[in-house]
Structure 1
Amino acid sequence: MAAIGFQNFPINTNLAPGVYFDVDATNANAGTAPQRTLVIGQMLASVTATAGVPFLVTSYAAARTAGGAGSMLSLMLQQYRKSDPTGEVWCLPVSDNGSGTNASIAVTISGTSTAAGTLNLYVCGTNVQVGVASGATAATVATATAAAINALIDLPVTAAASTGTVTITARHKGIVAGDIDARINFSGTPAGESTPAGLTVSVGSLSAGTGEPTLSFANLGDTVYDYIITPYGDSTSLAATTALLNDVSGRWSWQTKLYGHCFGAKKGTSSALTTFIASYNDQHLSLLGINDTPVPVYLVAADYGAVCANSLRVDPATPLQNVVMNIPAPPRASRFLLSERNTLYGVGMGATRANDAGQVILDRSVTTYTTNAAGAKDTSYRDTETLATLQFCIRSLDSMLGTKFARKKLLADGTQVPGGSNFVTAQSVKAEIIAWYRARALEGVVQNPDTFARNVQAQNIGQGRVAVMLPIDVANQLRVLGISVQFIKS
C-alpha cells in the first residue's frame, strides 16, 4: 500500500497506464471567515424590508429604501458607515411595538423679533436653521421651524406648529426610538449662533415613548455575524442578545461555533450608568456609556460598533482605545472625568472622552462581565479585545484543522507518519497545532509560543477521537505607562 495518500485517485487499484494528477488543497488554504456586521434597528411601516429577516446592505440608499427615510434602521446604517466604510453589513429590521407610544418634546417660542437673524435649533444633533425676518411673530417663527424640520426627511422626527409652540414627535414608537433631543444654539457664540433679538425660545421636557419591540433572531440561521449592534438597553432586549450568544446553547457553544459580539450604548450620568450596569454580567456584550450627547443613543451604538469592528477586523488584539468617533461631544460639564471613567471600567461599562477640538474619543471598551459563577470578582473577560482574539484564534485553528485533517486515518502514538500520508497520530496533530500557534505569535495575536509548545496536550482517546488542551496566552493591550520622574538638581 502506498505511503503517500491521495484524496480521490485509487493508485492501488487503477490498472490503466497513464499519468494521473489528483489535486489536493489541504495545505494551501489561507482563507479567513467573513467578518460581517449585523445592525438591528426599527423600520417604518409600508417599506420594502420584512421584519425579522436580515438583508445585505450595499449602500445607504438601499437601507433608506428598505427601512424608510428617517427610520432608526437607515440612520444607524448611515452612522455606521462613517466609521466602517468597507465592512460587510447586514441589517435586521424590527417593527414598532403596536402597543407603544411615540416620544415628543415641545419647543416654545415667544415674543416678536426686533432684528433679522437665524434661529439655530438642533434636533437630534442636526442644526435646523430657520431664517427670521425683523418683526416676525412667535407663531410665524414656529410655523417656519416646523416646516424646516419636516423638510429634512432623514430626521427621526416630524414636527407640527400651533401658535408659538413646535411639537417634535419621534417617527417610531418606543423608549430608545424616542431618544429625541432639541437644543438652541448648541455650538454657541464661537459658531456665531444666537437667538434673534426679541425672541425667547425654550425647550420643554421630553415626554418619553413606551414599548420596545420584541426581538427575534430566528431567521439568522447559521450565518456568521461577528459584530452585532443593538440599539436597545432594556433588560428584555439585552437578555435576548445574551441568549443568542451564550456559551451553552448560543452562538459561542461548542455545537454552534458561530461566535460574535454584541455592541450597544447607554446614556446617563456616571452614577446612573453604574447603577444600570450592575444588572448585567455578559462577556459577549460591550456597552458604551455617554452622557448628554445630542444624538440619539442608537446612533452612539452604531458608531461604537463600527469603530470596534473596523479595528478588530484588521487585528483583534489592537487596543480599542484612542480612536476618534463620529458623534458630537457632550457639553464640557457633562463629560466624564478620569475618576468617573475609571469607575465605569471597573463595573463593566466602556466610556469616551473628548479632546480640545471637540472630537469624541473611544477611551476604552470593556465587556459587562465582572464576576464569575461564584460571585467572585473576575477580570478574565474584561476586555473586548480578549473575546475578539479568542474568536480569531478558534476560527483560524478550526479552519486549519478542518482542512488538513478532514479525511485522515488516526493511528496510535509512536507510529511513524511519512510526509504526504493520509494518516496521523495525536502527536502529529499536536505538532501542527504548535506550528499554527507559532505563526499566530509572529502576528502578535498570541504570545509565549515556547511555553505553549511545552504545555499543549493532544491525546488519542480511542474510537477516532483526539482530545486537545490549548493553553492559549492571548496578547495584552498596552494600557498604562507608569513613570517615576526622579529628577536631581546638581
Structure 2
Amino acid sequence: MASANISFDQIPASIRKPGKYFEFNTKLAVRTLPGNLQRVLILGQKLASGSQAERAPADLFSDEQAAQLFGQGSQLHLMARAAIKANPYLQLTAIAVNDPAGTAATGTTTLAGTASGSGVVTLWVGASRVDVAINSGDTAAAVATALAAAVNAQPSIPVASAAAAGVVTHTCYHKGAIGNDIRLQASCNAPGLTATAAGMGGGTLEPDYAAALAAVAGAGHHILVGPLASQAQLAALRSHLEFVSGPMEQRGAIGVFGWPASLATGTTLAGQINSGRITGAWHRGSLRLPCEIAAAYAAVLASEEDPARPLNTLELAGLDVTAIDQRPTRTEQENALYNGLTPLEIGPGDRVQIVRAISTYTRDLQGVNDVSLLDITTIRTLDYVRKACRERIALRFPREKLSERTPPKVRSELLDVLFKLEELEIVEAVEDNKDALIVERDLQDVNRLDAKIPVDVVNGLHVLAGRIDLLL
C-alpha cells in the first residue's frame, strides 16, 4: 500500500519489527495461452441391464465399459462405440435417460418357400450383418428360426428377434422413436427361398433430456452429441447451449447431430434449428443410426484443438461406405453448404470424410442471409478467445483495486493475449485493430470496467480459384 508500483497480498504495511520479508507472487507466472482440450458429452437411452443410474454422468474409456454401464446394444453403447472408433483418445462422458413411456419400433423379415439348394440368407440390421447357412430342403419356418437365433446371438445388435411361421419380428431394445431409424435389409441366394425385409416403424415418443442437460450444465463439456435428429430434441439442445455459452455462464460449447436421410429433409431440419452452435453431419444412405453418425462426427471435431483450423478431409473412421447412388453430387453438396448441413463424402481409399464443417446458422433474426457464423470454426474460435482473455485477466487481477491506473493495465494484458493469439494464427490484424481495443470505467457501476475487444478471426482456406492461360 505504501508503494506506487508494488502491491503486497500477504505483507502488511503496518510492520514495525525489523526484518526482511518476502512473499511469492504467482499472478505473473503464466504468460502463455490456455490449452484447448475438447471434452465430448453424449446423451442417450440406457437399458435396464446397465448398471449406471439415470442422469448420472460417467467417463467412458472403452466399448466394453459403455456396454456394462448402459447395456449391451443400448443407444449409448452404440454411440460410445462409434465415438471411440473415430477417436480412440477422446475425452468422453455419457449421461443416460430411461426409455420414454411410448412403444418400441418393430420390423419384420419374411422367409417364403423351401430351399431346393444350398445358399445363405443375409440380414442387415443397421450396419450389423447376420448370415445364416441354408441347406437344400430347409423350410422358410426353419430358416426364420435360425435367423432369429443368429440375431439374438449378437447382443450389440439393438433388436430382439422372434420367429413364427416363417416371419421374424424384430423389436427395438428401446421404446421410443429411436427404433424407427434402424434399417433392415434382407437377401437370400438359395434357390426356392426368398427373404424380404419390412422396415422398422411404430416407435413412439422421445425422451425428455431437459433434466439430463440440467444435471451437466456446470460440467463444462465442449461438444454435446444430440441422440436424435428431431426438431424438438435439437431445439432443447440449442436452448441448453445458449445458456451455458452465454456471457454469464461462459462455458462455450457446440452441439452435433447426424443425418442419414435426404438432402431436402436435412436442410429443412437445419433451417428449423438455425444455430451457430449446432452442426449436423449429412451421410445419406448410411446404415448407421443418426446418433452413431453424430458421435463419430463429434469425436473427430474434438480431435482438432486448434479452434480456427478447418476440418476439411478429416476421416470419420468406423462409418459405413454408402452405395454409389447415395453419394451426393457436387451440386447437392453446394446446396447442403448453403442451407446449414455439413456433407460427408467418400474419399480415396473408401474413407468417409468431412467436406466442410458448417453450422446450421444461415439467417439472422430478421430472416436476412448471414454468413457470420457459417463455419463451425468461427464460434469455436470466439469461445477460445473469450477463454484466453478471461483466464489472463483472472490470473493478473484477482484482487485488483479500480483506479485510473487500472484500465491501461487491463488493456495491456488483453492486447498481449491478442498478439499471442495472432502468433498461433487464431486471430489476425491485431496491430491494425488495436486502437479499437478500449478498456474504460463504467458510467453507472463504480466497481466495473468495460472492454471492447476487436477480434478478426483467421478464416479457413476453403477455395482456391485459378486461371490457366494457354500460351502457344
**1:461 is aligned to 2:442:** yes
For 1:50 and 1:33, the matched residues in 2 are separated by 30
Q: For residue 183 of structure 1, report the CA deviation from its aligned partner.
A: 1.9
TM-score of the pair, normalised by structure 1: 0.90
- Which of structure 1's runs of 4+ aligned residues deviate more than 6 A? none
Structure 1 gaps of 5+ residues are 186-193, 413-423
Q: For residue 322 of structure 1, report the CA deviation from its aligned partner.
A: 0.7
- The one-letter amino acid of 1:101's match is T
Which SS does the other structure have where 1:385 is aligned?
helix
For 1:25 and 1:223, the matched residues in 2 are separated by 27
The residue number in structure 1 matching 2:252 is 259
Which SS does the other structure have where 2:180 is aligned?
coil
Q: 2:372 aligns with which of 376, 380, 387?
A: 380
Give deviations 1:446-484, integer Å, cap 9, x for gaps.
111211323211113362322111110011011111121
The residue number in structure 1 matching 2:91 is 88
The residue number in structure 2 matching 1:144 is 146
Q: Does the 8 Å contact 1:32/1:396 carry over to 2?
A: no
Q: Does the 8 Å contact 1:44/1:172 carry over to 2?
A: yes
The residue number in structure 1 matching 2:433 is 452
Structure 2 gaps of 5+ residues are none
Q: 1:330 to 1:411 in 2, by over 3 A?
A: same
For 2:165 and 2:348, the matched residues in 1 are separated by 41
For 1:208 and 1:265, the matched residues in 2 are separated by 21
Q: 1:283 aligns with which of 269, 276, 285?
A: 276
Which SS does the other structure have where 1:201 is aligned?
strand
Q: Does the 8 Å contact 2:230/2:269 carry over to 1?
A: no
**1:28 is aligned to 2:29:** yes
Q: 1:18 to 1:84 in 2, by over 3 A?
A: farther
TM-score of the pair, normalised by structure 2: 0.93
The residue number in structure 2 matching 1:188 is none
For 1:78 and 1:306, the matched residues in 2 are separated by 11
For 2:14 and 2:342, the matched residues in 1 are separated by 64
Which SS does the other structure have where 1:128 is aligned?
strand
Q: Does the 8 Å contact 1:96/1:172 carry over to 2?
A: yes
The residue number in structure 1 matching 2:417 is 436
**1:125 is aligned to 2:127:** yes
Q: 2:165 aligns with which of 163, 173, 177?
A: 163
**1:485 is aligned to 2:439:** no
The residue number in structure 2 matching 1:475 is 458
For 1:4 and 1:10, the matched residues in 2 are separated by 15
| Higher mean displacement: 375-384 or 18-27 | 18-27
- The one-letter amino acid of 2:91's match is E
For 1:233 and 1:451, the matched residues in 2 are separated by 43
Which SS does the other structure have where 2:248 is aligned?
coil
Q: Does the 8 Å contact 1:176/1:298 carry over to 2?
A: no
The residue number in structure 2 matching 1:12 is 13
Give deviations 1:66-96, integer Å, cap 9, x for gaps.
2111100111011111122223211110111
- The one-letter amino acid of 1:425's match is T
Q: 1:163 to 1:356 in 2, by over 3 A?
A: farther
Q: For residue 52 of structure 1, report the CA deviation from its aligned partner.
A: 2.4
Q: For residue 362 of structure 1, report the CA deviation from its aligned partner.
A: 1.2
For 1:19 and 1:369, the matched residues in 2 are separated by 61
For 1:390 and 1:448, the matched residues in 2 are separated by 15
Q: For residue 275 of structure 1, report the CA deviation from its aligned partner.
A: 2.9
Q: 2:117 aligns with which of 115, 135, 138?
A: 115
Give deviations 1:278-324, integer Å, cap 9, x for gaps.
3221111111222211111111111111111212xx21111121111
The residue number in structure 1 matching 2:314 is 323
